[in-house]
């Protein structure tokens, strides 16, 4: 079982299990088995992996790009456990799990040292109207401002640019771009960037302002030198065609520039074949190494001083060794760098010195100019960084101000805290302890507390009103049942209550209470009058019944109470005489006469009176009580 791990910018991008496969294509096109479209340095079909004689091999199929092994370009590799190789933008690691299980010193591939990252640097490539590369600007540092102001990190005298048009920021290995409120706007891959908002940049993205076009790319600064080394290594063995006009440099092939002329492809193919043959033929390789070793030894011995005395050493300035056209170019670059430094265009000065150093290591004060330009750029970058932070703070404060205005409009007597929290969430993200945010939340909290207190008071008030209403309803029920005394008492409870009375129930209770009392007073007088009439007629039973009704109407009427007692005594005495006569009749055997006596007591007396109850018992004895 084999695994292919793929890394992008030192982060694991993909892990492919090769089990059950015998071929695997890798490239930028969607038709590949593994699609790598994050970097322009990848060809449509770049690599192909093949399982040959139980061994995995990787082969370069791209005509315009590289396959690198140990920083050297190769055409193919036999993949052994732990081998690492790369193409522009991506790194690969081949793991043979079977080899790991059979004795490798570490069993967990994740514990191994991560594959090294090829050193990529951010670069802006500017194109002219014809789509040709006009300038290449290497971005050093972490923050760059592009505009028409000479103080910008990248100064461009282009009329459509604002003084400070857009800026690029590197943060945690990622790149971001935003427009600085420019007049003509900034476009990223044809899309207008929103003002003052960061958008992520990827290698290969196009940045445009009118017809000014850039491409942001991540480049390997040592790429050219490695290719040049590879070219020097291959050149002595490629002798089939010595016509310079028909040869194509390896660097042109690996950087994606198409060769001019019909024979370019055959030359590269021929060089690849020579190199592969050289690697495959150990005898030829050994002979070559012996020749190169002997030549170095010869030169070393030849340069040693003789025993006769030290030989003179000739020291030549590198500039003096240049041809006239190169010397003139160095001078022009040097003067241009000096002028740019005087104008404060330090990035352009640095670029000129870097171009100079590609021709000659140093010239006059080029090192001093380069160092001063770097220092000025660092200071400028720090200044622009501070300005960007200040702009960011201003933008955030404006967002906070606008959001606060919006949130304040939500404040009303019925607002809930979750509503204001939801509205303030974007502000809290920027500044959770902003004083105006805290003040607004405190205001809403006070509104909520006051509302809850009022609601509690209203609830308590409603409950007390309901209690008074219940008292009144109980009084009305007794009133309807003509339980006058109970009704009067319950109406009095309503009147005496301290409960709130929004419906005027206390007044209604008082009025009804007076009506009942007047009615009872009238009834009481009527009862007293009738009772006196029945008493005069000797009808004690009816008189006493009316007196009792009067007492019910007014239990505290002592006159009626006294009269009731007096009349009951009279009734009791009269009933006693009748009862004793009945007992006497019974004793002499006149039972029928006795029964008549006792029946008379039933008619004249009242239930509960002593002789009424005694007569009742006598009559029951004889079975005549009904």
Q: pLDDT for 433-453, tens place per residue?
A: 889 999 999 999 999 999 999
Per 3-state DSSP, the chain is made up of helix, strand and coil in percentages (nearest 5) of: 50, 15, 30
Between 249 and 391, residue with greater pLDDT: 391
CA distance 341 to 350: 9
CB contact at 8 A, 502 and 468: no
Per-residue pLDDT, averaged over 418-423, amounts to: 92
State if pTM tops 0.85: no
Between 69 and 307, residue with greater pLDDT: 69
When mean pLDDT is compared over 9-18, 36-45, 148-157, 510-519, the highest value belongs to 510-519
| 241-245, 251-255, 394-398, 589-593: least confident range | 251-255
What's the pLDDT band for 128 if we cut at 50, 70, 90? confident
CA distance 364 to 216: 33
> Hey, which residues does 126 pair with through a beta bridge?
135, 214
pLDDT tops 80 at residue 262: no
SS3 169: strand
CB contact at 8 A, 161 and 209: yes
pLDDT tops 60 at residue 211: yes
Per-residue pLDDT, averaged over 99-116, amounts to: 41
Per-residue pLDDT, averaged over 197-209, amounts to: 92
| 263-272, 539-548, 586-595: least confident range | 263-272
Per-residue pLDDT, averaged over 296-311, amounts to: 38
CA distance 218 to 123: 6
At residue 141, the pLDDT reads 81
CB contact at 8 A, 125 and 154: no
At residue 460, the pLDDT reads 94
Burial of 202 from C-beta contacts in 10 A (0-12 / 13-18 / 19+): middle
At residue 286, the pLDDT reads 56
- Interacting residues of 584 by C-beta distance below 8 A, sequence separation 6+: none
CA distance 74 to 271: 11
At residue 474, the pLDDT reads 95
Average pLDDT across the chain, whole number: 81
Dihedral angle at the C-alpha atoms of 100, 104, 109, 111, nearest 10 degrees? 160
> pLDDT above 90 covers what percent of the chain?
47
């Amino acid at each position: 079982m084999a695994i292919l791990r793929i890394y992008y910018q030192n982060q694991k991008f993909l892990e492919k299990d090769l089990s059950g496969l015998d071929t695997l294509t890798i490239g930028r096109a969607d038709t590949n088995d593994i699609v790598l479209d994050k970097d322009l340095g990848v060809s449509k079909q770049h690599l192909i992996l093949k399982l040959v004689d139980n061994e995995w091999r990787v082969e370069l199929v791209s005509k315009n790009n590289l396959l690198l092994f140990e920083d050297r370009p190769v055409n193919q590799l036999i993949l052994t456990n732990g081998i690492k190789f790369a193409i522009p933008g991506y790194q690969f690691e081949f793991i043979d799990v079977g080899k790991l299980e059979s004795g490798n010193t570490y069993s967990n591939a994740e514990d191994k040292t991560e594959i090294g990252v090829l050193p990529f640097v951010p670069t802006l490539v500017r194109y002219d109207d014809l789509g040709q590369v006009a300038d290449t600007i290497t971005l050093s540092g972490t923050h760059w401002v592009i505009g028409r102001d000479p103080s910008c990190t990248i100064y461009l005298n282009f009329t459509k640019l604002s003084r400070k048009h857009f800026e690029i920021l590197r943060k945690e290995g990622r790149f971001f771009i935003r427009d600085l409120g420019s007049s003509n706007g900034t476009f990223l891959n044809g899309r207008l960037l929103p003002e003052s908002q960061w958008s992520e940049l990827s290698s290969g993205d196009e940045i445009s302002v009118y017809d000014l076009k850039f491409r942001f790319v991540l480049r390997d600064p040592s790429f050219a030198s490695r290719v040049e080394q590879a070219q020097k290594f291959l050149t002595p063995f490629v002798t089939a065609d010595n016509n310079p006009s028909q040869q194509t440099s390896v660097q042109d092939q690996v950087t994606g520039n198409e060769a001019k002329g019909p024979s370019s492809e055959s030359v590269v193919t021929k060089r690849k074949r020579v190199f592969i043959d050289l690697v495959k033929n150990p005898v030829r390789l050994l002979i070559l190494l012996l020749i190169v070793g002997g030549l170095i030894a010869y030169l070393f011995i030849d340069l040693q001083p003789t025993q006769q005395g030290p030989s003179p050493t000739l020291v030549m300035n590198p500039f003096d060794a240049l041809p006239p056209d190169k010397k003139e170019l160095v001078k022009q670059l040097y003067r241009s760098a000096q002028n740019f430094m005087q104008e404060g265009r330090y990035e352009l000065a640095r670029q000129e010195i870097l171009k100079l150093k590609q021709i000659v290591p140093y010239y006059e004060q080029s090192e001093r100019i380069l160092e001063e330009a770097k220092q000025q750029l660092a200071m400028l970058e720090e200044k622009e960084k501070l300005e960007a932070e200040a702009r960011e703070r201003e933008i955030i404060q404006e967002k906070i101000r606008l959001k606060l205005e919006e949130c304040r409009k939500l404040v009303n007597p019925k607002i809930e805290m979750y509503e204001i929290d939801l509205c303030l969430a974007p502000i809290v993200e920027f500044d959770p302890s902003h004083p105006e945010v805290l003040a607004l939340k405190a205001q809403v909290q006070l509104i909520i507390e006051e509302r809850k207190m009022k609601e509690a008071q209203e609830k308590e008030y409603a409950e007390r009103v309901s209690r008074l209403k219940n008292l009144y309803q109980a009084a009305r029920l007794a009133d309807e049942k003509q339980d006058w005394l109970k009704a009067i008492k319950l109406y009095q409870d309503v009147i005496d209550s301290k409960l709130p009375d929004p419906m005027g129930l206390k007044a209604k209770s008082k009025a009804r209470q007076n009506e009942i009392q007047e009615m009872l007073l009238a009834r009481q007088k009527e009862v007293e009058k009738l009772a006196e009439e029945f008493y005069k007629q000797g009808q004690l039973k009816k008189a006493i019944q009316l007196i009792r009704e009067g007492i019910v109407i007014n239990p505290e009427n002592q006159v009626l109470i006294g009269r009731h007692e007096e009349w009951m005594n009279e009734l009791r005495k009269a009933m006693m005489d009748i009862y004793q006569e009945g007992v006497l009749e019974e004793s002499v055997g006149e039972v029928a006469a006795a029964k008549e006596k006792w029946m008379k007591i039933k008619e004249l007396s009242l239930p509960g009176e002593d002789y009424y109850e005694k007569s009742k018992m006598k009559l029951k004895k004889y079975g005549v009580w009904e």
